[in-house]
Amino acid sequence: MKPFLPILLGAALSFPPIQAQAQVQADIAALDAATALRPDTGRPKNVILMIGDGMGINSVTAGRIYEGQALGEDGASHRLSFDRFPYTALSRTYSADRFVTDSANGASALMTGYKTINGAIGVDDQVRARDCASATAARVPTLSELARAKGLAIGVVTTAPITDATPAATYAHTPFRGWQSDIDMPAQAVAQGCIDIARQLVEGEATPEVVLGAGLAYLKPEADGGRRKDGRDLVEAWRRRGGASTVVSDLPGLTASTTPRLMGLFSNGALPADADRAPDSATPRLPDMTAAAIRALSQNPEGYLLVVEGAQIDSYHHANDPRRALAAVAEFSQAVDAARRLTDPADTLIIVTADHSHSLVLTAGSDRKAPLLGLAGANGAPNKALDDAPYPTLIYGTGPSPTRPQAVARADESSDADALRSVAVPLSSAGHAGEDVPVYADGPQAYLVRGVIEPTYVFQLIRRALSL
């Protein structure tokens, strides 16, 4: 497994200039490969849906450059693992009530085939925000529930709490994504029969065989350091519900597991940023968890549905922290690579997409050999704005930032990759962006990923591919 990528600041990158003839030859080879490509119309046994949370087109481009530069290559011409997938599309991400979606609707649309309002999960657009009674009437089945009815195994992997919006869309139905534990539930919703997301994980119709990620506190009682006031230990409840099961707490335990049912929640909150991880850390990375999930789920002879989320692309974009967000793109790419290497492309369909975008912008004028995380400029001289101040190569439309001159001065004087970026609209947390997001596919039925589609189309594609 590839280690986490180092951060390159200030140092010149060593790579040969791209020769025109070499590019011509590469283009011809790619065209020949495309000409020879024949759609695989077979039916997959397994489907892996991989969601880069917040991974819009600009994040893919910047993540590609980041990973390439960290490897000492020309970042612009570098390829992420899913750049090599043969089929692509664009997905329109708006929700039932907003131009710009949140993760709840974004992931729910992928998992149910219905767009809903921002903040709701596993329900259609007739739901009312935080209204338990309306959620009961608006409930719609998830891919997991349909797959379980056919005998498939279910897996959920994330770097976020397992009860967060995107993983919750795999198994939960709720009018409000914030009802993660019983401590978060209003009395009226409880009286009307709604239960928290963590209980739905364990007690729902499609309790996953594989649960890997973070957010242990939402499943453990207060007496054990958790957030549950009802005294339930949902980890033990999950263990009791199935057959041969393993609960692990670190990377060695994850690697050693051989059972078909596997749970590992490696932090009370979110997992640490991949950019900050020590090489000898005992906390698994997303590629580690993806590989372990495939090993466990592959023991089911009927096949499986696995949903993998790279959550920290989004969480660090919210903080306007491109270093950690783009390291998360690279980590996600490595997880996609692990999924493809560990499965047979003849029987496993892999779809890579995002639930929404972020307002990251790659500005003009930077030399291709300049560090992506530094100031915009060429030949050693920074670009200047109309106020004669330099500005960074990566900027954000919204989010946390000091005044612009302070942000630029920090980056200019210290080459500090953690300096807050310049933003157009200062906010306490960066908002999502509304442009289309990419979809990549490889394997049986992948040829149906084409054109400009809705995320709900992805649901219908997977449903048809698995004959659900």
Catalytic residues: 103
* DSSP codes, 215-275: -GGGGSBGGGTSSBSS---HHHHHHHHSSSEEEE-SHHHHHH--SSEEEEE--SSSPPPGG
Q: Is the dihedral of CA 446, 460, 206, 272 positive or negative?
A: positive
Residue 17's contacts (CB-CB under 8 Å, 6 or more residues apart) are: none
- What are the structure tokens assigned to 14, written together? 């060593």
Sign of CA dihedral 156, 161, 166, 172: positive
Task: Give the span between the Cα atoms of 197 and 160, in whole angstroms.
Answer: 14
Q: How far apart are CA 357 and CA 154, in angstroms?
A: 27
Of the candidates 96, 95, 122, the one whose C-alpha atom is nearest the C-alpha of residue 106 is 95
Length of the chain: 468
In sequence order, the 6+-apart residues with CB closer than 8 A to the CB of 187 are none
Q: Count each helix (H run) and each strand (E run) in the chain, helices first.
A: 15, 17
Rounded CA gap, 308 and 238, in Å?
20
